[in-house]
């Protein structure tokens, strides 16, 4: 036992060192905690190289999905041979083979120019993590304690690496999650922003729509015109309040009723047909903008309206909206305007007629006075002579004086007439190429009121292929107006038959233009032969000049004017005018 | 026809004037002619029956205006109008204003002579009437105021007694005044007096 103390002391020391190394190895995980696998490998290699006084230590961590292969090598500072990690890895594989389970626990190989003992150890239960290879030139390598330390270190490294990997995986997952959360958060924030914008836009649009609808509603309600819409069946969908004022219907009362209730009977059929035709063919047969039609109020009163309508397709159904304007007042104003224009024309024509008659009247009065003075003297003187003669009291001297006066007065009367004739000069007519039918129409228009007031029916038989007449329009109008007014006056006494006035224009046998004005009136009271005699009249206010003037006007145009009996009643006045051969400018 | 009668002819035409004078002279009428209304107005009308033969259309004052002018001057001479042409409204106006006739030139001589005869007869009667009224008026003016009072009550139909009561005098006094008034008026009876008073009233207005 005494001989053994040195041995024992050595043994104890060796064991102590081994325990110390084991404690160091066991402490490694504390150093590794939170560290990266590469750092774990580094510290492991450094620790083993120092503890076991190795010449070489090599670690390889297998590559797995998501992690790269790690190869690291350490050489003892005294070691002369040096190589790169992947060179050592290839050397190790050539020594041991690819399958870790088949590796021997220890082998001796050449490294450089020296022999070296190699101990491979798998990392992980099946060497799935990687391999750690230690080498030493010592012959006693590995001692039992060294092998223990190696295996413990390998275990610790496996655990540490797996923890590190787990942690890094967790970290990765966490990071990944964080990233995804962040991304998703960003996406959501974007989506929310989008939604917010969209909501704002929709809200805005809704507000706009409401405000616009409100505006439209207010406009439609406030409109002076009736706004009414109907569906494809012709039923009223909506009407604004103006319908109450204009048609007398309550807007609610007519909703759903047919649009035709706003029209008189005569219009209803037209509307229904036209509407049907439009729906089936799409062709509009009336202007949709501002067409004038007759409408009917609730009480049945008819009145003129101006209608504009439009079409809108909503949800596949057509809606027609009409704007109806009451134009009664406008019409009335137009009628009044037309009436007053016509009255003005009539008044002008009448004025012209009267002034002509007045001139004629004054002329006639003047003629009467001027001629009557000498005639009166003649008759007085002659009468006085006759009286004296009857009393046998006529002295020659007296008779001579009287006869001289009679001659003087007779001569004077004749001179008066000569003076008057030279005084009345003929106004030269202004002749143009005229459409006689046009002149007839003008004169009928002028006489329109007289005709209608006296309930005279006018029948026009105007030939459309007449040549132009070379005539003075105003004179022709005078002639026609005179004949027509004569006809009207002849008709006013007629009560037992229609008061018919017929105006004809045609070409006569000799190629002249012939105009005939015939009436169903009282005919010729004074006989046919006297109608053109000047100052002969059957009228209370007549001058008896109209027909004679008309005749001279027509004759001034190279035509003829004559009268005839109409069958069975009345008179026919006809005149001719020579036709122009060519159009006269 | 009274030979003292005068026919005044107013016509601007000398032939007409002279022929009218000739014609009217054949029935013994005295004619005085004038070429205008003014020259006639300047002539002092003699106090004999007369009439006017007047052309409607005269230079200056027209016939109708002249008729109005004469009426305004209280010259009531009957007028026979002559005109160059028949104008009904004008003739109606003239006749309404008192014209005797309205003849259109040339006229039948007999028509004119008839019209002139009627006109002169009308003027003669008017003159007689005027003369009588003038005499009556002179007599009436000679009455005392009491006599006028009495006869105005007499013609209203009151009895002497009633008049006396009203005037506060004796019936006998009234009787005297009444007979004196009748005498002054040359009235033969009460009826005659009433006629006279009526005539005075009619032509000269109120008696008092």
* Last residue of one domain, picked from the residues A279, A302, A326: A326
Average pLDDT, chain B: 86
CA atoms within 13 A on the CB side of A403: 7
Residues A204-240: tens digit of each pLDDT: 888 888 888 787 777 777 778 888 888 888 889 888 8
Which of A360, A362, A372 would best serve as a mutation to test chain B binding (most B beta carbons within 10 A)? Answer: A372
- Is residue A549 over pLDDT 90? no
Q: Is residue A347 part of a domain?
A: yes
Residue of B nearest to A371 (CA): B84
Given a contact cutoff of 8 angstroms between Cβ atoms, the answer to whether B67 and B94 are in contact is yes
Neighbours of A569 (CB within 10 A): 17
A31 vs A39: CA distance, rounded Å? 10
Pairing assessment for the beta strands A114-123 and A130-136 based on DSSP bridges: antiparallel
What is the H or E stretch that residue A410 is in?
helix A396-423
- Whole-angstrom distance, CA of residue A339 vs CA of residue A303: 19
| Interface contact flag, B15 A405, Cβ < 8 Å | yes
Out of A330-334, A447-451, A504-508, the most confident range is A504-508
A450 & A561 share domain? yes
Confidence of residue B207 (pLDDT cuts 50, 70, 90): very low
Measured in angstroms, the CA of B150 and the nearest CA of chain A are apart by 59
> pLDDT tens across A428-451, in order?
567 788 899 999 988 888 787 778
Highest mean pLDDT among A1-5, A172-176, A542-546: A172-176
- Tell me, what's the pLDDT at B112? 94
pLDDT at B206: 44
B107–A365 CB contact, under 8 Å: no
Query: How many residues are there in chain A?
Result: 585
- Residue A462 banded pLDDT, cuts 50, 70, 90: very high
Total CB pairs under 8 A between chain A and B: 72
Asked if omega into A568 is within 30° of 0 (cis), the reply is: yes
> What integer pLDDT is reported at residue B1 of this predicted model?
45
Is beta strand A317-326 parallel, antiparallel or unpaired with respect to A226-230? antiparallel
**Predicted pLDDT at A340:** 78
Whichever domain contains A534, its CATH number is 3.30.565.10
Round to whole Å and give the CA distance between A399 and A382.
9
In which residue are the tokens 């000069």 written? A425
Which residues on adjacent β-strands are paired with residue A311?
Answer: A320
User: Is A199 part of any domain?
Assistant: no
Residue A555 domain flag: yes
Question: What's the per-residue H, E or C state across chain B?
Answer: CCCCCEEEEECCCHHHHHHHHHHHHCCCCEEEEECCHHHHHCCCCCCCCEEEEEECCCCCCCHHHHHHHHHHCCCCCCEEEEECCCCHHHHHHHHHCCCCEEEECCCCHHHHHHHHHHHHHHHHHHHHHHHHHHHHHHHHHCCCHHHHHHHHHHHCCCCHHHHHHHHCCCHHHHHHHHHHHHHHCCCCCHHHHHHHHHHHHHHHCCCC
Q: Dihedral sign, CA of B67, B68, B69, B73? A: positive
Question: DSSP assignment, residue A100?
Answer: G
User: In this predicted structure, what is the pLDDT of residue A539?
Assistant: 60
Query: Which of A383, A385, A389, A541 is the best substitution to test chain B (most B C-beta atoms within 10 A)?
Result: A383
Cα separation, A332 vs A328, whole angstroms: 6
| Within a domain: A499 | yes
Query: Does A384 sit within 8 Å of B106, measured CB to CB?
Result: no
Q: State the CATH number of the domain containing residue A357.
A: 1.10.287.130
Spatial CA neighbour of A118 closest among A58, A178, A60, A69 = A58
Measured CA angle at A331 (ends A328, A333), to 5 deg: 110
Query: Does ipTM come in above 0.90?
Result: no
Is the dihedral angle over the CA atoms B114, B118, B119, B123 positive or is it negative? positive
Contact check, Cβ <8 Å, A369/B85: yes
CATH of the domain at A144: 3.30.450.40
Residue A585: its pLDDT value, please? 38
Chain A residues lying within 8 Å of B27, measured CB to CB = 387
d(C-alpha A573, C-alpha A479), whole Å: 11
- Rounded CA-CA distance A319/A316 in Å is 10
Question: Are B22 and A409 a contacting pair at CB < 8 A?
Answer: no
Alpha carbon of residue B102 to chain centroid? 20
Does residue A25 share a domain with residue A161? yes
Six-digit token string for A537 = 């009249």
The total number of structural domains that make up chain A: 4
Q: Do residues A164 and A16 share a domain?
A: yes
Instruction: In whole angstroms, give the CA distance from residue B84 to residue A408.
Output: 19
Please check the confidence at residue A37 and state whether its pLDDT lies above 90: no
Return the higher-pLDDT residue of A147 and B51. Answer: B51
> What's the sign of the alpha-carbon dihedral A238, A244, A249, A251?
positive
- Cβ-defined contact of B84 to A365 (cutoff 8 Å): yes
pTM for the full predicted model: 0.39
Helix and strand tally (H, E) in chain A? 13, 17
Burial class (CB in 10 A: 0-12, 13-18, 19+), A58: buried
> Which residues in chain B touch residue A370, judged by CB atoms under 8 angstroms apart?
84
Chain A nearest-CA distance from B179, in A, is 57
A196: its two tokens: 């917010």
**Do A68 and A163 reside in the same domain of the chain?**
yes
Chain A residues touching B56 at Cβ < 8 A:
none
If asked whether residues A360 and A447 sit together in one domain, one would say no
Q: Tell me how far apart the alpha carbons of residues A235 and B83 are, in angstroms, rounded to a whole number.
A: 82
Whether A465 and A539 map to the same domain: the answer is yes
Q: Which of A404, A423, A442 is the last residue of a domain?
A: A423
Rounded mean pLDDT of chain A? 82
Cα A242 from Cα A221, distance rounded (Å): 7
**Mean pLDDT: which of A411-420, A490-499, B77-86, B112-121 is highest?**
B112-121
- Is the peptide bond preceding residue B181 cis, with omega within 30 degrees of 0? no
pLDDT at res. B30: 93
DSSP structure class, residue A439: H
Residues of chain B positioned with their CB less than 8 A from the CB of A383? 23, 108-109
A302 and A393 in a common domain: no
Is A39's pLDDT higher than 70? yes
**With contact defined as beta carbons under 8 Å apart, do B105 and A380 qualify?**
no
Q: Provide the percentage of residues in chain A whose pLDDT is more than 90.
A: 9
Is the per-residue pLDDT at A1 higher than 60?
no
Q: What residues contact residue B111 under an 8 Å CB cut-off, 6+ apart?
A: B101, B103
> Which carries the bigger pLDDT value, residue A128 or residue A527?
A128
- Tell me the shortest Cα–Cα distance from A497 to chain B, in angstroms: 35
Q: How confident is the model at residue A63 (pLDDT cuts 50, 70, 90)?
A: confident
Q: What is the DSSP letter of A258?
A: B
| Domains delineated in chain B | 6-127 (3.40.50.2300), 142-204 (1.10.10.10)
Please give the residue that has the higher pLDDT: either A103 or A240.
Answer: A240
Q: Any idea what the Cα angle at residue A43 is, between residues A40 and A44, rounded to 5°?
A: 80
Q: Under an 8 A CB cutoff, do B105 and A405 touch?
A: no
What is the distance in angstroms between the CA of the first residue and the CA of the last residue of chain B?
39
Query: Which distant-in-sequence residues (6+ apart) come within 8 Å of B128 by Cβ?
Result: none
The reply to whether A241 and A109 lie within a common domain is no
For residue B20, the chain A residues in CB contact (below 8 A) are: 380
pLDDT above 70: residue A321? yes
Count the neighbouring beta carbons within 10 Å of the beta carbon of residue A504.
Answer: 17
pLDDT digits (tens, 9 = 90+) for A359-401: 666 666 667 777 888 899 999 999 999 999 998 888 899 999 9
A246-281 per-position pLDDT tens digit = 899 988 888 888 888 888 887 888 888 888 888 888
User: pLDDT tens digits, residue range B18-72?
Assistant: 999 999 999 999 999 998 888 888 887 788 899 999 988 777 777 888 888 888 8
Q: Are residues A506 and A555 in the same domain?
A: yes
- pLDDT confidence of residue B203: 63
**Is residue A296 classed as helix, strand or coil in its secondary structure?**
strand
Same domain, A436 and A371: no
Q: How far apart are CA B70 and CA B41, in angstroms?
A: 9
Q: How much is the average pLDDT of A490-516?
A: 89
The helix/strand/coil state of A292 is: strand
Reported as a pLDDT band with limits 50, 70 and 90, residue A339 is confident
Sign of CA dihedral B98, B104, B106, B112: negative
Does one domain contain both A69 and A158? yes
- With respect to residue A82, please indicate whether it lies within any of the assigned structural domains: yes
Among the candidates A326, A356, A371, a domain finishes at A326
Chain A contact residues (CB < 8 Å to B)? 364-365, 368-370, 372-381, 383-384, 386-388, 391, 402, 405, 408-409, 412
The rounded distance, in Å, linking the Cα atoms of B136 and B130 is: 10
In terms of residues, how long is chain B? 208
* CB spacing of B23 vs A375 below 8 angstroms: no
**Banded model confidence at residue B124, pLDDT cuts 50, 70, 90:** very high
Q: Which residues contact A236 (CB under 8 A, 6 or more apart)?
A: A228, A229, A230, A254, A255, A256, A257, A258, A259
Domain containing A272: what range?
A: 223-326
Percent of chain B clearing pLDDT 70 (strictly above): 93
| Domain shared by A316 and A341, yes or no | no
Q: Which parts of A315-357 are beta strand (E)? A: 317-326
The verdict on residue A66 lying in a domain is yes
Q: Which helix (H) or strand (E) holds A130?
A: strand A130-136
**Residue the block writes with tokens 């960003």:** A186
In whole angstroms, give the CA distance from residue B90 to residue A246: 59
- Give residue B89's pLDDT: 77
Instruction: State how far the Cα of B98 lies from the Cα of B101, in Å rounded to an integer.
Output: 9
Report if residue A293 sits inside a domain: yes
Per the CB < 8 Å rule, is A384 touching B15?
Answer: no
User: Across the strands, what pairs with A291?
Assistant: A307
The verdict on residue A419 lying in a domain is: yes
Strand, helix or coil for residue A244: helix
**What pLDDT score does A371 carry?**
83
pLDDT at B2 (0 to 100): 46
Evaluate whether A49 touches A57 at the Cβ level (below 8 Å).
yes
């Amino acid at each position: 036992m005494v001989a053994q103390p040195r041995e024992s002391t050595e043994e104890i020391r060796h064991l102590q060192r081994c325990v110390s190394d084991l404690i160091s190895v066991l402490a490694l995980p504390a150093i590794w905690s939170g560290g990266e696998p590469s750092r774990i490998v580094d510290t492991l290699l450094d620790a083993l190289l120092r503890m076991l006084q190795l010449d070489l230590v090599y670690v390889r961590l297998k590559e797995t999905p998501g992690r790269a292969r790690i190869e690291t090598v350490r050489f003892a500072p005294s070691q002369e041979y040096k190589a790169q990690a992947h060179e050592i890895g290839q050397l190790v594989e050539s020594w041991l083979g690819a399958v870790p389970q088949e590796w021997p626990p220890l082998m001796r190989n050449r490294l450089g120019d020296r022999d070296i003992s190699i101990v491979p150890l798998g990392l992980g239960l099946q060497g799935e993590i990687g391999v750690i290879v230690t080498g030493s030139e010592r012959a006693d390598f590995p001692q039992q304690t060294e092998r223990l330390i190696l295996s413990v270190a390998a275990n610790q490294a496996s655990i540490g690496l797996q923890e590190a990997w787990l942690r890094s995986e967790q970290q990765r997952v966490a990071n990944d999650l964080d990233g995804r959360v962040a991304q998703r958060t960003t996406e959501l924030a974007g989506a929310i922003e989008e939604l917010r914008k969209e909501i704002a836009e929709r809200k805005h649009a809704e507000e706009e729509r409401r405000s616009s609808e409100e505006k439209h509603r207010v406009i439609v309600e406030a409109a002076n015109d009736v706004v009414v819409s109907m569906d494809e069946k012709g039923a009223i969908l909506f009407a604004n309040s103006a319908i109450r004022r204009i048609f007398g219907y309550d807007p609610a009362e007519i909703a759903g009723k047919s649009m035709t209730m706003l029209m008189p009977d005569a219009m209803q059929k037209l509307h229904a047909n036209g509407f049907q035709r439009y729906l089936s063919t799409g062709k509009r047969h009336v202007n949709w903008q501002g067409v004038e039609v007759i409408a009917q109020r609730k009480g049945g009163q008819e009145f003129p309206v101006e209608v504009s309508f439009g079409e809108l397709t909503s949800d596949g159904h057509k809606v027609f909206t009409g704007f109806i304007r009451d134009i009664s007042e406008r019409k009335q104003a137009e009628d009044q305007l037309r009436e007053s224009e016509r009255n003005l024309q009539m008044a002008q024509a009448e004025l012209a007629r009267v002034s002509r008659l007045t001139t004629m009247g004054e002329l006639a009065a003047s003629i009467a006075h001027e001629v009557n003075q000498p005639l009166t003297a003649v008759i007085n003187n002659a009468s006085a002579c006759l009286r004296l003669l009857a009393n046998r009291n006529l002295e020659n001297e007296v008779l001579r004086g009287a006869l001289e006066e009679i001659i003087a007065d007779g001569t004077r009367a004749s001179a008066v007439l000569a003076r008057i004739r030279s005084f009345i000069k003929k106004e030269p007519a202004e002749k143009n190429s005229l459409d006689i039918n046009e002149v007839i129409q003008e004169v009928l228009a002028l006489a329109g009121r007289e005709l209608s007031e006296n309930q005279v029916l006018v029948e026009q038989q105007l030939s459309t292929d007449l040549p132009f007449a070379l005539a003075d329009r105003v004179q022709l109008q005078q002639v026609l107006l005179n004949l027509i007014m004569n006809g009207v006056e002849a008709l006013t006494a007629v009560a037992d038959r229609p008061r018919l006035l017929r105006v004809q224009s045609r070409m006569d046998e000799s190629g002249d233009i012939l105009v005939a004005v015939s009436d169903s009136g009282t005919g010729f009271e004074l006989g046919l032969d006297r109608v053109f005699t000047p100052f002969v009249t059957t009228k209370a206010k007549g001058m008896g000049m109209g027909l004679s003037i008309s005749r001279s006007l027509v004759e001034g145009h190279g035509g003829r004017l004559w009268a005839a009996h109409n069958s069975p009643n009345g008179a026919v006045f006809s005149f001719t005018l020579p036709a122009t051969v060519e159009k006269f400018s | 026809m009274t030979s003292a009668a005068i026919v005044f002819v107013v016509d601007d035409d000398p032939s007409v004037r002279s022929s009218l004078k000739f014609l009217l002279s054949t029935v013994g009428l005295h004619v005085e002619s004038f070429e205008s209304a003014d020259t006639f107005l300047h002539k002092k009308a003699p106090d004999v029956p007369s009439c006017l033969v007047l052309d409607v259309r005269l230079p200056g004052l027209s016939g109708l205006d002249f008729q109005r002018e004469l009426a305004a001057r209280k010259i009531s001479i009957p007028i026979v109008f002559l005109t160059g042409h028949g104008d009904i409204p004008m003739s109606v106006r003239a006749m309404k204003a008192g014209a005797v006739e309205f003849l259109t030139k040339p006229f039948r001589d007999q028509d004119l002579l008839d019209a002139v005869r009627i006109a002169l007869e009308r003027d003669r009667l008017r003159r007689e009437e005027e003369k009588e009224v003038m005499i009556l008026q002179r007599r009436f003016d000679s009455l005392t105021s009491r006599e006028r009072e009495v006869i105005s009550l007499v013609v209203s139909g009151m009895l002497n007694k009633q008049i006396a009561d009203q005037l506060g005098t004796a019936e006998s006094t009234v009787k005297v005044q009444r007979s004196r008034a009748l005498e002054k008026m040359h009235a033969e009876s009460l009826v005659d007096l009433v006629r006279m008073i009526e005539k005075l009233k009619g032509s000269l207005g109120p008696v008092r």
